[in-house]
């Protein structure tokens, strides 16, 4: 049998691996981070300005921002093929009274979208970005051929907005601005989950809190180890190579994979194979949101989409099992590049032949502690 793990993940600086190739390049991350800062600064000053220019007389507090989604989970992959783009979600929060004293005014969502879009126009024109305003639940800014920023708009009750500010201050920030800019320090855990409302272009407001999913996933990583996070990234990488657009959503892959994962000591290939082998049946059974059991994630994909995904993972299992079972490292690399593209290294000399006994030994009798992450090529 073959051990393909050195080509999936390595901690040796001068050796390539797919995990490293999935990362955005340092200059790409810098561009995205800079763009996010520019967008936040623009909205922070621009939303109050636009509302006042349009006759709103009450004081408008500066919005607060929290990064969510794959950037916050640390599962963001670089695009595999056009037209894919790296997706950064940066939520924008304001208290409800910035427009109306009523709890859920039917016009508030429209006003929020309009004010934010108007505030962003000068920045978008200056940077030669593209403003996309037809997404039901967010404003999208395409900042490059490989990345866009999605800005979902949230409203929370005034007293909770004040509590949010107080919560930030308790964490020792010198200023609110400093807290806002610390994307990884989401100090808003005191905010009640049932009072976060997402602006929707067609449905006005929807109860929607991004925190529980993030907390669930990070808890899964803490319990299962960094190998689980890597396996999720491999699943997403396979999806992005198999489907140029569409395919199973990232949250669906995360939720489906979590109960199937078993730690394999220094064997990312086997850990991935374990999940892929059981994934088709789990998709066909149906997968619910891990933090909201009444919400079916597979229903979003539809019956035909679920069956397409299940068959794709069945085929992937055959190839991955064949690659680990073949006696030819060169053939194994060719097969893996067929499933992942050129981001999987074609370096058969680094593939190791192992015994069946060693393969069995890679599975611990009990779940191991979270592993320490070593240095990687891409950082």
pLDDT of residue 22: 98
Asked if residue 222 and residue 202 are part of one domain, the reply reads: no
* pLDDT bucket at 103, cuts 50 / 70 / 90: very low
Asked if residue 115 and residue 203 are part of one domain, the reply reads: yes
Q: How many domains does the chain have?
A: 2
Asked if residue 186 and residue 39 are part of one domain, the reply reads: yes
Long-range contacts at 284-289 (CB < 8 A, ≥ 24 apart): 284/310, 287/252, 287/255, 287/256, 288/255, 289/213, 289/251, 289/255
Asked if residue 15 and residue 33 are part of one domain, the reply reads: no
State whether residue 258 is helix, strand or coil. Answer: helix
Quick one: which H or E segment has residue 198?
Answer: strand 197-200
For the entire predicted model, the pTM comes to: 0.87
Please give the share of the chain, as a percent, with pLDDT higher than 70. 83
Instruction: Identify the bridge partners of residue 198 per DSSP, sorted by sequence position.
Output: 154, 206
Asked if residue 270 and residue 255 are part of one domain, the reply reads: yes
Asked if residue 293 and residue 202 are part of one domain, the reply reads: no
Token pair listed for 210: 């991004």
Asked if residue 53 and residue 131 are part of one domain, the reply reads: yes
Listed in order, strand segments (DSSP E) in 49-138 are 64-68, 86-95, 130-132
Asked if residue 280 and residue 196 are part of one domain, the reply reads: no
* pLDDT bucket at 55, cuts 50 / 70 / 90: confident
Asked if residue 202 and residue 238 are part of one domain, the reply reads: no
Distance, CA of 101 to CA of 106 (rounded, Å)? 12
Angstrom CA distances, 362 to 307, 356, 367, stand at: 32, 10, 12
Q: What is the pLDDT of residues 69-93, one digit of tens each?
A: 999 899 999 999 999 999 999 999 8
Asked if residue 339 and residue 205 are part of one domain, the reply reads: no
Asked if residue 267 and residue 167 are part of one domain, the reply reads: no
Q: Is residue 78 part of a domain?
A: yes
pLDDT of residue 124: 98
Angstrom CA distances, 32 to 25, 125, 147, 376, stand at: 11, 17, 7, 21
Neighbours of 48 (CB within 10 A): 20
* pLDDT bucket at 295, cuts 50 / 70 / 90: very high
Q: Is the pLDDT of residue 362 over 60?
A: yes
Compute the average pLDDT of residues 162-181. 51
pLDDT of residue 369: 45
Q: What is the pLDDT of residues 198-232, one digit of tens each?
A: 999 998 888 888 889 999 999 999 999 999 999 99
Look at 26-40, 103-117, 170-184 and tell me which has the smallest mean pLDDT.
170-184
pLDDT averaged over every residue in the chain: 87
pLDDT of residue 168: 54
Q: Are strands 139-144 and 86-95 parallel, antiparallel or unpaired?
A: unpaired
Q: Is residue 366 part of a domain?
A: no
Q: Is residue 375 part of a domain?
A: no
Phi, psi of 230 (to 5 degrees): -65, -40
Domain span at 239: 2-23+213-361
Neighbours of 129 (CB within 10 A): 19
Q: Is residue 65 part of a domain?
A: yes
Asked if residue 43 and residue 13 are part of one domain, the reply reads: no
Token pair listed for 300: 């979003």
pLDDT of residue 178: 47
């Amino acid at each position: 049998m073959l051990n393909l793990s050195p080509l999936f993940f390595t901690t040796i600086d001068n050796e390539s691996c797919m995990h490293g190739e999935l990362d955005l390049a340092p200059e790409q991350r810098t561009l995205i981070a800079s763009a996010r800062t520019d967008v936040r600064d623009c909205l922070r000053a621009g939303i109050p300005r636009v509302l006042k220019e349009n006759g709103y007389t009450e004081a408008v507090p500066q919005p607060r921002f929290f990064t969510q989604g794959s950037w916050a989970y640390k599962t963001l992959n670089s695009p595999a093929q056009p037209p894919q783009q790296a997706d950064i979600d940066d939520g924008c929060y304001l208290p409800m009274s910035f427009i109306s004293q009523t709890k859920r005014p039917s016009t508030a969502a429209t006003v929020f979208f309009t004010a934010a879009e108007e505030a962003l126009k000068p920045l978008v024109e200056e940077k030669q970005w593209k403003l996309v305003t037809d997404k039901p639940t967010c404003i999208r800014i395409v900042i490059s051929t490989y990345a866009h920023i999605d800005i979902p708009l949230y409203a929370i009750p005034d007293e909770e907005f004040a509590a949010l500010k107080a919560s930030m201050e308790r964490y020792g920030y010198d200023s609110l601005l400093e807290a806002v800019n610390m994307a990884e320090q989401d100090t808003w855990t005191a905010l009640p989950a049932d009072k976060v409302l997402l602006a929707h272009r067609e449905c006005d407001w929807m109860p929607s809190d991004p925190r529980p999913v993030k907390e669930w996933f990070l808890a899964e990583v803490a319990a299962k180890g960094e190998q689980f996070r890597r396996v999720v990234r491999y699943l997403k990488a396979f999806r992005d190579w198999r489907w140029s657009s569409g395919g199973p959503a990232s949250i669906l892959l995360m939720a489906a994979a979590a109960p199937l994962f078993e730690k394999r000591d220094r064997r990312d290939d086997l850990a991935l194979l374990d999940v892929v082998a059981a994934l088709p049946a789990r998709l066909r059974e149906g997968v619910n949101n891990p933090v909201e059991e009444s919400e079916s994630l597979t229903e979003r994909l539809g019956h035909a989409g679920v069956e397409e995904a299940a068959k794709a993972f069945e085929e992937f299992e055959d190839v991955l099992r064949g690659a680990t079972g073949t006696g030819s490292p060169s053939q194994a690399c060719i097969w893996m590049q067929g499933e992942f593209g050129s981001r999987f290294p074609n370096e058969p000399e680094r593939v190791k032949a192992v015994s069946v006994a060693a393969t069995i030994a890679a599975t611990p009798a009990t779940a191991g502690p979270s592993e320490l992450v070593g240095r990687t090529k891409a950082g």
